[in-house]
Structure formats: structure tokens, C-alpha cells
Structure 1
Amino acid sequence: MEKEKIDKKDHILDIAEKIFSELGYDGASTRTISGEAGVNMAMLNYYFGSKEGLYLAVFERKISAFRTLIQNIGNDGSISTWDKLERCIDNYVDRIITNTCFQKLINRELSLNTRTELADKMVDILMSNVLEFKKIMQEGVDDGSFHADADLEMAIITIFGTKNYLINSQQMVSIMLGNNVRDEAYLEADLKPRMKTYMKRLMKSYLVKQ
């Protein structure tokens, strides 16, 4: 019975993620989501309480999966600090390139000033992942493999900021790269490995003592 409840919640979250990504927070309605998910409004409200609660549940599920992955990499004592950061970058790029709709949704909601409470909750969730990146970078400083005077905050902003520019300035980026960054095949075959190589070379040259 418990597994059935979990499966039902996951199904609702899958549908809600799709609709929120397509329509945005304002454009999506819990009635539309419940209809597409094949559940009644009472069940949706029972699980999530409100539209905001449902949105944050979608958001938290997406972000927490990556957080767990980063934590597992960070706790791996068999690899160097740089190897940890390298793996984090690889996994980060994999997720942002294959989930551009969700990334746009994040940026759109955070750019609005009309729902500061929702934005604050989103930022709190996102910051947990940012802090996992910083923890690994700080480990490199502490163990002497990274430069002691490295500006870790700016390094993190560079990683996340590159993603934001790629996703929010697609027309300009397409012209710069000479390819349509809305093309799934191009994203997977070309942009993803290109971005991984760039970010890792950039971070290694800045952080790692040669």
C-alpha cells in the first residue's frame, strides 16, 4: 500500500513537472495537473496542500537527486579532490543540458519579484547544491591541491553563470556557436562535451596547483 502511495505521488510529480515547465508557475493550474494525472483535486491537495506546495515538491525532487549525487562524490575517499570536482562538473552539465525546460522554469520564477516567499524557498533549495560544490572546492584548498587564495565563490558563479547564459540567451548563443542550441541532437552530441571540456579546463587552470 505504501509503495502504491509513493508511485502515485511520483506520477503526479512527473505530470506537474511537465506542465510547470511548459506553462510556468502562473500558467499551470492544479486542476489541469490533476486532470492530466488522472487524480482528483482532493488527492492532490492531500499530498501537496497547495499549488506552491506541489511546485516546491517538483523542485525539491529534481534538485535533491543531484544533491545526493554530489554528496556521494564528495564523500568518496578513493579519489582526489580535483577528480571529485571533475565528476561533479560532468554530472552537472549532463543535467542542465538534458533539462533545459526545467532550467528555464527555475530562472523565470527566480527573476519574478511578485512571489518573494516562493523565490526564497527555491533559493534555499538551490543553495544546498551550491554549498556541496563549495565544500569540495574548500577541501582542495585545505588539502593543498588548490590555490589557497582561490576565489571559490567566483568560481562557483562562473560554473552556474555559464549555464544561465546558455539557457537564457539561446538566440545569441546559437549565433556565436554557429548551431541551434534548441536542437536536441546538437546539445547531446556537441554542446554537452564541449561545455564539459571548457568548464573542467577553466576550473583546473584556476584552482589546481601545477
Structure 2
Amino acid sequence: MEKEKTDKKDHILDIAEKVFSDLGYDGASTRLISGEANVNMAMLNYYFGSKEGLFIAVFERKTNDFKALLQNILEDESLNSWQKLEQCTDKYLDRVFENRCFHKLVNREVSLSNHPEINAKISDILMVNIREFKKVMQEGIDDGSFFKDADIDLSIITIFGTKNFIINMPKVASQMLENDVQQEDFLQATMKPRMKTYLKRILKSYLVIEHDRTDS
């Protein structure tokens, strides 16, 4: 029974994520989402309470899933600090390219939303995984493998900002790269590995003390 309940909630969240991504918060409605999910309004309201509750639940699910993945990497004692950051960066980009619609939704609602209370909640949710990246970078500083004066905040902005440019400014990015960044084959086969290589080289050259470097 509990699994059935979880499956039903996940199904509603899957549909809600797609509808919110397509229409934005203001353009979507719980009635439309319940219809698309083939559930009645009473069930949707029982699980999530309101459109805002459903919207926040979409973000919390994504964030919690990724937080668990990052924490598994951080707790792996067989990895050094650089290897942990390398894996976190790889996993982050994998997630981005698997679900670009969600990341467009994030950008739209955080930067353009007319709902400051919802915006604040989303920002708090997104900070959960930013803090996980901070932990692994701080670990590298504390164990002496990263430079003591490394700017952790700007290092994280480099990761997220590069992603934002490619995903949220596709026309400009496509002109720069002379390829359509909205074309799935190009994104998966070319852009994702290119971004992984670029970001890891940038981070490694900036963070890792020379004598601690090893080929990845």
C-alpha cells in the first residue's frame, strides 16, 4: 500500500514537472495537472495541499535525490578530495543533460518569478546541493590538497554559471559553438563531454596544489 502511494505521488510529480516546465508556475493549474496525471483533484490536494505545495514538492524531490547521490560520493573514503569533486561535477552535468526542462524551469522561476515567497523557498532548496559542493571543496582545503585561499563560492558559480549559459541561452550558445545546443545528439555526444572536460580542467588547475595532482 505504501509503495502504491509513493508511486502515485511520483507519477503526479512527473506530470507536474512537465507541465510547470512547459507553462511556468502562473500558466499551470492543478486542474490541468490532475487531468494529465489522470487523478482527481481530491487526491492531488491530499498529497500536496495546493499548487504552491505541488510546485515546491517538484523541486524538493529533485534536490533530495541529487543530495543523496552527492552524499554517497562525499562519504566514499576510497576517494581523495579531487576525485570526489570530479565525480560530483560529472554527476551534476549528467543530471543537467538528462533533464534540461527542469533546469530551464529553475532559471525561469528564480530569475523571473512574480512570487517572492515561492522564489525564496526555491532558492533555499537549491542551496542544499550547493552546500554539498562546498563541503567537498572545503574538505580539500582542510586536508591540504586544495589551495588555502581558493574561492569556493566562485568555483561553484563557475560550474553552475557555465551550465546556465548553455541551457538557458541556447540561441547565443548555438551561435558561439556553431552547433544547435538544443539538438539532442549534439548535446549528449559532444557538448556534455566537452563541458565535463572543460570544467574539471578549470577546477583542477585552480584548486589542486601542484604536488598533489594526479591524472584523472
Q: What TM-score comes out, normalization by structure 1 length? A: 0.98
Question: Which deviations, in whole Å up to 9, do the C-alpha atoms of 1:115-154 show, x marking residues without a partner?
Answer: 1110111111100100000000000000000001101111
Matches within 5 A, 1:74-85: 74-85=74-85
Asked if residue 126 in structure 1 is aligned to residue 123 in structure 2, the reply is: no
* Aligned position for 2:57: 57
- Find the aligned partners of 1:80 and 1:141 in 2 and give their Cα distance: 12
Matches within 5 A, 1:94-113: 94-113=94-113
Q: CA RMSD in A?
A: 0.8
* Aligned position for 2:207: 207
- Find the aligned partners of 1:84 and 1:168 in 2 and give their Cα distance: 27
Asked if residue 177 in structure 1 is aligned to residue 197 in structure 2, the reply is: no
* Aligned position for 2:153: 153
Deviation at 1:100, TM superposition (A): 1.3
Unaligned ranges ≥5, structure 1: none
Moved more, 141-150 or 105-114: 105-114
Question: Which deviations, in whole Å up to 9, do the C-alpha atoms of 1:24-75 show, x marking residues without a partner?
Answer: 1111110000011111111100100000100111111111111111111011
- Find the aligned partners of 1:38 and 1:169 in 2 and give their Cα distance: 34
Deviation at 1:113, TM superposition (A): 5.0
* Aligned position for 2:213: none
- Find the aligned partners of 1:14 and 1:111 in 2 and give their Cα distance: 23
Asked if residue 192 in structure 1 is aligned to residue 185 in structure 2, the reply is: no
Deviation at 1:4, TM superposition (A): 1.3
* Aligned position for 2:214: none
| Residue-pair matches, total | 210
Deviation at 1:112, TM superposition (A): 2.5
Matches within 5 A, 1:20-39: 20-39=20-39
Deviation at 1:168, TM superposition (A): 1.8
Deviation at 1:98, TM superposition (A): 2.0
Residue identity in the other structure for 1:177: L
Unaligned ranges ≥5, structure 2: 211-216
Moved more, 13-22 or 110-119: 110-119
The runs of at least 4 consecutive aligned structure 1 residues that moved more than 6 Å come to: none
- Find the aligned partners of 2:112 and 2:21 in 1 and give their Cα distance: 16
Residue identity in the other structure for 1:118: I
Q: What TM-score comes out, normalization by structure 2 length? A: 0.95
- Find the aligned partners of 1:189 and 1:149 in 2 and give their Cα distance: 36
